[in-house]
Structure 1
Amino acid sequence: MAKILMITGDFTEDYETMVPFQCLLACGHTVDAVCPGKAAGETVKTAIHDFEGDQTYTEKPGHNFALTATYAEINASDYDALVIPGGRAPEYLRLDASVLDMIRHFFEANKPVASICHGAQLLAAAGVLKDRTCSAYPACSFEVTAAGGTYADIAVSAAVTDGNLVTAPAWPAHPDWLAQFMKLL
């Protein structure tokens, strides 16, 4: 089974954090969920994003998600794969050079990476999308193309794989996104 790193932060999308975390554990994988500046046992706040017919998603308070490892103590080379949830966390995590270095490690080593929704903001900031096909929440299509990638405009319930990268627009794609990711594991 794989040892998987999940990089998350405050106001990560609730489903996009908890569902893959629990699913991958249930399938026998080890998942270390980390957040810069926080230690194992501390929590990040989540936000629930829903699609209720408005011009964009709505946002409601979610749960507290317990981190399982201490960010300052991890080494990306110890992991077989990476998961990047969406939500609001990627917009500020992309300002952390150590996060971007970790993401680059997974691409340089050609390890599986699963990113969903606003996770594409981290991929773009890390400079790993050039000549790649990447799905994301439609509002992040600009970041994908500005980073040299091709934005995959797919159904909200679909996912796309390009080499070691599996991406999806939002949490309704969990079944397809996680199935494609687990094939790479």
Structure 2
Amino acid sequence: MPRALLLTGDAAEELDVMYPLYRIREAGWDVDVAALTRREVQLVIHDFDPNSDAYTEKNGRKLPVDLAFSEVEVEQYSALVIPGGRAPEYIRLDKDVRRITEYFFAQNLPVGLVCHGPQVPAVYGLLKGRKTAAFPPLHGDMENAGATIVDAPDVVDGNIVSCRGWPDMPEFSRAFMALLDRAAVPA
């Protein structure tokens, strides 16, 4: 059975995590959740309020974690997902997140980036010359990282599928699942 890895942490957006997690499992893949430690992480729910200049946030579900970033053996996985929320802002500082992310890009394996997820490969220079969607306030950061921003719910650039956030989940999921269907399954 093919395996995917999902990198997350506290303050990850609940729909950004849960929608792809269950969709990939529904397609017959094993999905391991990795975080800084093996303790469960606190997901959050972001919503958009017309009376607010930013999104609102409240606690969502707790998510069990299968392994710590330091325990990830990248060769066991055929795809990577990095959901959004605030988690990408700090998990990108972890040396093992860098090791993991660089492996998937070097091997040209499928990578799904949701909302703030592009912050992780961007900080390592992996989006230079690539197209990506991202949460709109990140557009300047993505451009400074050398990426071309595409304002769409399902941006595909080679091995990457990205979207702007949880409202894009249906389109993102269709595009990412099509990429996974084409991906080589490890022996």
User: Structure 1 length as normaliser, TM-score?
Assistant: 0.92
Q: Is the 8 A contact 1:11 1:89 kept in 2?
A: yes
Specify the alignment match of 1:85 in structure 2: 83
Deviation at 1:73, TM superposition (A): 2.2
Matches within 5 A, 1:112-123: 112-123=110-121
- What is the CA distance between 1:58 and its match in structure 2? 1.1
Secondary structure of the corresponding residue to residue 118 of structure 1: coil
Instruction: With the length of structure 2 as denominator, give the TM-score of the two structures.
Output: 0.91
Equivalent-residue separation in structure 1 for 2:120 and 2:146 (angstroms):
14
Q: How far apart, in 2, do the equivalents of 1:57 and 1:159 lie?
A: 22
The structural deviation recorded for 1:19 is 1.4
5+ unaligned residues in a row in structure 2: which ranges?
A: 181-187
Measured after TM superposition, the shift of residue 23 of structure 1 is: 1.5
Deviations 1:100-129, CA, capped at 9 Å, x for gaps: 121011010000000011111112112110
Residue 135 of structure 1 is matched in structure 2 by: 133
Identity %: 40
Shift of 1:2: 2.5
Is the 2:125–2:145 Cα contact (8 Å) retained in structure 1? yes
Deviation at 1:174, TM superposition (A): 0.7
CA distance in 1, matches of 2:44, 2:170: 20
How well do the aligned residues superpose, as a CA RMSD in angstroms?
1.2
Q: Provide runs of 4+ in structure 1 moved above 6 Å.
A: none
d(CA) in 1 for partners of 2:65, 2:18: 11
Tell me by how many angstroms 1:84 deviates: 0.3
Structure 1 gap ranges (5+):
none
Q: Match of 1:184?
A: 179
Contact 1:120/1:143 (8 A) holds in 2: no
* Equivalenced residues, count: 179
CA distance in 2, matches of 1:147, 1:99: 18
Query: Residue 167 of structure 1 corresponds to which residue in structure 2?
Result: 162
Shift of 1:56: 2.2
Q: Deviations over 1:14-48 (max 9, x none)?
A: 11111111121122110000102x12xx3000110
